[in-house]
Amino acid sequence: MQVLQKPVSSIFCASIIMFLLPPSLSSSLQPEQSNNQKMSPKLLSQITVHAFLLWVSMGFLMPVGILIIRMSNREECGRRLRIIYYAHAISQTLALLLATAGAVLSIKNFNNTFNNHHQKIGVALYGIIWLQALIGILRPQRGSKGRSVWFFAHWVLGTAVSLLGILNIYTGLQAYHQKTSRSIRLWTIIFTTEISFIVFFYLLQDKWVYMQKQGVILGNEPRRPHGHDKEVSQQDKP
């Protein structure tokens, strides 16, 4: 574990430095393309593929993986816990692979001047998502001393990746609009609707057990309607 700490820390620090790099300095690395410059069909298709990969990865699989693992909070069946764990691991692995593919595509084909928020957040995410994956692999046994620290770090990084990923999809849509002058209204509505459903289910998970208990009293006896006792008392009268 100590062997991996240095490269992991280097990746994380490099990502943060690139995110904080001033636009004036980063833009000097490579001249920025003019917004009025017409894109080739090949470049446009590459941007579309990049957007699709990151949408599915950061905008869907990552938050869905969080919803899946939260299902284990009140689960006691060992078999179901294993299914939930593997579903979470598979979704996050797929998200990592798709995000990496999107990163490779952008590095090879795009003008990476890092002079806008989308590129800065993106490069930070690429580092953090790999750090999160390594932390997940190095998961200590339950009950060990470092388990609480690991859980906190895993939770913080997972939440940060999801939030920054969602934010970066919005900045990516805006960057696409600035480069192509094409409308992004429909895609923004679709993505916002998707995130709204995810947030709804996230909040519903906290209240689901509470909602199920609303119609139950002690002894698992169903709660009777308020007017039931009154009707019974009237029927008993001579």
Q: Residue 54: which CATH number?
A: 1.20.120.1770
49 is written with which tokens?
A: 């593929």
pTM: 0.69
The answer to whether position 156 is within a domain reads yes
- Of all helices (H) and strands (E), which one includes residue 212? helix 185-212
Q: Which domain holds residue 195?
A: 2-22+39-236
| Per-position pLDDT tens, the chain of length 238 | 444 444 444 444 444 444 444 443 333 333 334 444 567 888 888 888 999 999 999 999 999 998 998 888 776 777 888 898 899 999 999 999 999 999 899 888 887 777 778 888 888 898 899 999 898 888 888 778 888 888 898 889 988 998 999 999 999 999 888 888 889 999 999 999 999 999 999 888 878 767 777 765 545 545 555 555 445 455 555 5
The answer to whether position 153 is within a domain reads yes
pLDDT for 167: 93
User: If phi over 0 gives left and psi between -120 and 50 gives alpha, with beta otherwise, what is residue 144?
Assistant: beta
What is the 8-class DSSP label of residue 144? S
The answer to whether position 27 is within a domain reads no
The answer to whether position 183 is within a domain reads yes
Buried b (16+ CB within 10 A) or exposed e, 132-171: bbebbeeeeeeeeeeeeebeeebeebbeebbebbbebbbb
Helices (H), 57-146: 62-70, 78-109, 117-137
Domain count, the chain: 1
214 is written with which tokens?
A: 């609303």
The answer to whether position 33 is within a domain reads no
List the one residue out of 116, 143, 148 whose CA is nearest residue 30. Answer: 116
The answer to whether position 30 is within a domain reads no
List the one residue out of 129, 135, 154 whose CA is nearest residue 53. Answer: 129
The answer to whether position 32 is within a domain reads no
pLDDT for 216: 57
The residue written with tokens 């913080």 in the block is 156
The answer to whether position 28 is within a domain reads no
100 is written with which tokens?
A: 């990496």
